[in-house]
Structure 1
Amino acid sequence: MPLQFASRLDNVETSAIRELFKLLGKPGIISFAGGFPDSAMFDIDGLKQAADEALTHESGGALQYGATEGYEPLRTQLADFMQAKGVAGVESNHLIVTTGSQQALDLLGKTMISPGDKVIVEGPTFLATIQCFRLYGAELISAPIDADGVQVNQLEQLIVQHKPKFVYLIPTFGNPSGALLSLERRRQILELAVKYQTLVVEDDPYGDLYFGAPPPPSILALTKEMPAAREWIAHCGSMSKVLSPGLRVGWLIAQPELLAKATMCKQFSDAHTSTFAQATAARYLKSGRMPETLKIVRKAYGARAHAMGEALKKHLGGAIEFTQPQGGLFFWARLTGAGGGIQDAAEFAKRAIEQGVAFVPGTPFYAANPDPSTLRLSFATANVEKIEEGVGRLGRAL
């Protein structure tokens, strides 16, 4: 008799991005496919020092079981970190530490979604979010976006029509879109949350990775202008893109009742996030090295984003259209089919692999109504020279 798996698995499939990685073993391939930071940017010396201090000065806490809500010194540092980014009044007991922000999304799925519940996401949105929410039985509704983020008028119509359990947004340099939600639209989102008593989940792993002027304040930070909205905003943060994904340190800020339910569910899954990782992160934040680390990372990624934009215009010209990202890790582009050229990103990806370069077709990032001409390119892990060569290969794959 074959194994009888849970019916919830019928709603999900293996990540298209993870499957793509299996094709990247070809020698000399240049990858624009991954969504991870460049390991050369990690502050190794600072992390070594932080880990050593954690073991030297708080070995009991760093190596022992810990509270499910998180290691208190880290919760304090994260509260200070968020206050420095304009979130007024946040204290350590207003957040829980999660094993990456990915776990925060999973906990929201566990605590909020019953089979058949409707959840509104951006179209396109983070692939793992689509998989996670569908695993818990959500019916995903796709809200259109443009270069300024989610189209609020359309979002309001969808809220009225579907009465979702919550709305999930990546307002600052979204994955995969790279879009930046305007300040005006952020304020409108708060108004919608209060007007329709609808929870809005703000996922913010990329907000510190800006290349020029800082982005508008987070939706959570803007609740100081509209205090009634605070209870309707849940905010997910992460150290993965700015410090190290290997630490697996994220956090969730939400109203007390939601945090309590999420903490209970976290007890069932991993008891607590690695206390050693938490103690190391706490020491690092306390050291004051983060601003300089962010300065270095922003400069490097900004140069790579500029190089990729120029190379795309040079080598692909009118065959592709995109908005130059102002931060984050991604270009979101669309094949135009100009001059009778290719317009199917999946077919283009196959041709690109043959030329020794990889990217991710855009279709998997849509919860509904996918656009097969779209694609995601990451500039994070290739230097300027590799970007020029890789995009040149894309041009030859047309």
Structure 2
Amino acid sequence: MKIEHPAPMQWQFSRRAEQLQSSVIREILKVTMRPEITSFAGGLPSPATFPVERMREAFDAVLSRQGSVALQYGPSDGYAPLREWVADHLSTDGVRILPEQVLMTSGSQQALDLLAKVLIDQGSKVLVETPSYLGALQAFSVYEPEFVSVPTDDGGLLPETVAPIAQGARLLYALPNFQNPTGRTLSVERRLALVETCARLGLPLIEDDPYGALSYRGEPLPKMLGMNPHGVIYMGSFSKVLTPGIRLGYVVAPVPLVRKLEQAKQAADLHTSQLTQMVVHEVVKDGFLTQHIPTIRALYADRCQVMLSAMDEFFPKSATWTRPEGGMFIWVTLPKHIDSMKLLEEAIAQHVAFVPGTSFYANVPETNTLRLSFVTVPPERIRDGVEKLGRLIAAKA
């Protein structure tokens, strides 16, 4: 029986829900779905790198051999053979990572949410880079921390600035490799200094490393996890080296923290897809990534160079930008008087899109910054889009 003429429902949202905001990038992507738009906005891996046939074979193999297991509920901490693979993959001659330290997650974004859930209270001090990854700021913001911005320069985070601002902090969040949004890489010397500082202060250090394998030179720098496995929380993902559609990431931490994260995950989704984990293990177990990742590096390195060359040619000298050695992003700093949000409106009218830099700041934004991503755009469109954007900037410079 249907109720006639029900009164409009008056939803009473929680205070936390009232503070939620949409991702600026996701909103921009709605516009950039139009085929005429050359989009430098989304941090999306290139579909040209997706190993579709290898994934199909893996799905067939898993479903034909272990279909009833793959389609069943799984353990909250993850599929044991894949956790063992992750542990072996991250172990070095000096540091052995145990499978018990690995928790599989539904993308590394879930790892951020779980870490925030178990480490952050309302008003907790949280240290983040300036600028920092928007997705992390979103995940942490739900739990109402007090963000403290750690200064950076062209070499990334400045370790010597941490101690004076770290008292009472719950964690420091950093992306040392080809950082999102800047593309900067932290040197070995700075990694050691940062790890030593955090260890001395008893400050948990989150090392978010989705891009570490994407070094154009093919030689990733040492992980901070290997410098102090007792104080560094490592986050990894299969999104950038296989495909983001599988939504599979992982977090590596000391066992007491992993157990708390596992409890929080049980409340969130019980477990990450057993089928997905088994398929990914089938793909990676015999060394597939050692052949596959170099093809991604080569494609991204080529498109990065195309964009940098076009910027050298078409951008005014009053603008500056990073020159990444890996990853997916270039960070642009414009003259102080140019507002990148207003520039975006003009750029979209010219069928070009990017991400304004303001969303990547936890506290005081720099409105004259923007992020460019080059990996999904063919070289000829990169050059055309950069030329259009350069003309718009030059007109304001």
- TM above 0.5, one fold? yes
C-alpha separation between the residues in 1 aligned to 2:387 and 2:364? Answer: 31
Partner residue of 1:325? Answer: 324
1:396 aligns with 2:395: no
Partner residue of 2:82? Answer: 74
C-alpha separation between the residues in 1 aligned to 2:250 and 2:34? Answer: 37
Equivalent positions of 1:292-307 (< 5 A) are 292-307=291-306
Aligned letter for 2:146? E
C-alpha separation between the residues in 2 aligned to 1:291 and 1:336? Answer: 42
What TM-score do you get using the length of structure 2 for normalisation? 0.94
Note if contact 2:81-2:281 (Cα within 8 Å) is conserved in structure 1.
yes
Partner residue of 1:347? Answer: 342
Note if contact 1:146-1:179 (Cα within 8 Å) is conserved in structure 2.
no
Q: Which residue, 353, 359, 371 being the options, matches 1:358?
A: 353
Note if contact 2:107-2:239 (Cα within 8 Å) is conserved in structure 1.
yes
Note if contact 1:178-1:332 (Cα within 8 Å) is conserved in structure 2.
yes
Aligned letter for 1:388? R
After the TM superposition, which of the residue ranges 202-211 and 11-20 deviates more from structure 2?
11-20
Aligned letter for 1:24? T
CA separation of 1:37/1:261 partners in 2, compared to 1, >3 Å: closer, same or farther? same
Helix, strand or coil for the counterpart of 2:285?
A: helix
Partner residue of 1:247? Answer: 246
The CA deviation string for residues 133-179 of structure 1, in whole angstroms up to 9 with x for no partner, is 1101111111122222201111222114xx21110001111110111
Partner residue of 1:141? Answer: 148
Helix, strand or coil for the counterpart of 1:332?
A: strand
**Which consecutive aligned stretches of 4+ in structure 1 deviate over 3 angstroms post-superposition?**
none
What TM-score do you get using the length of structure 1 for normalisation? 0.93
Equivalent positions of 1:254-293 (< 5 A) are 254-293=253-292
In the TM superposition, residue 3 of structure 1 has moved relative to its aligned partner by 1.6
Give percent identity, aligned residues only: 38
C-alpha separation between the residues in 2 aligned to 1:11 and 1:185? Answer: 35
C-alpha separation between the residues in 2 aligned to 1:93 and 1:47? Answer: 27
The CA deviation string for residues 51-74 of structure 1, in whole angstroms up to 9 with x for no partner, is 112112222321110000001111
Q: Which residue, 202, 211, 214 being the options, matches 2:216?
A: 211
Q: Which residue, 200, 206, 220 being the options, matches 1:201?
A: 206
Partner residue of 1:187? Answer: 192
In the TM superposition, residue 27 of structure 1 has moved relative to its aligned partner by 4.0
Partner residue of 2:101? Answer: 94
Note if contact 1:318-1:336 (Cα within 8 Å) is conserved in structure 2.
no
Helix, strand or coil for the counterpart of 2:317?
A: helix
1:63 aligns with 2:105: no
In the TM superposition, residue 81 of structure 1 has moved relative to its aligned partner by 2.0
Residue ranges of structure 2 left out of the alignment (5+ in a row): 1-8
In the TM superposition, residue 388 of structure 1 has moved relative to its aligned partner by 0.7
Aligned letter for 1:281? V
Note if contact 1:355-1:397 (Cα within 8 Å) is conserved in structure 2.
no
Partner residue of 1:380? Answer: 375
Partner residue of 1:226? Answer: none
C-alpha separation between the residues in 1 aligned to 2:204 and 2:18? Answer: 27
1:220 aligns with 2:225: yes
In the TM superposition, residue 25 of structure 1 has moved relative to its aligned partner by 4.2
C-alpha separation between the residues in 1 aligned to 2:372 and 2:69? Answer: 41
In the TM superposition, residue 113 of structure 1 has moved relative to its aligned partner by 0.7
Helix, strand or coil for the counterpart of 1:215?
A: coil
Partner residue of 2:52? Answer: 44
Aligned letter for 2:213? D
Partner residue of 1:114? Answer: 121
Helix, strand or coil for the counterpart of 1:58?
A: helix
Partner residue of 1:23? Answer: 31
1:8 aligns with 2:55: no
C-alpha separation between the residues in 1 aligned to 2:374 and 2:110? Answer: 25
Aligned letter for 1:101? S
Aligned letter for 1:107? L
1:177 aligns with 2:182: yes
Aligned letter for 1:190? V
CA separation of 1:14/1:87 partners in 2, compared to 1, >3 Å: closer, same or farther? farther
C-alpha separation between the residues in 1 aligned to 2:371 and 2:198? Answer: 30
Helix, strand or coil for the counterpart of 2:206?
A: strand
Aligned letter for 1:291? T
C-alpha separation between the residues in 2 aligned to 1:216 and 1:147? Answer: 17
Partner residue of 1:314? Answer: 313
Quote the RMSD (CA, aligned, Å).
1.5
In the TM superposition, residue 129 of structure 1 has moved relative to its aligned partner by 0.9
Aligned letter for 1:103? Q
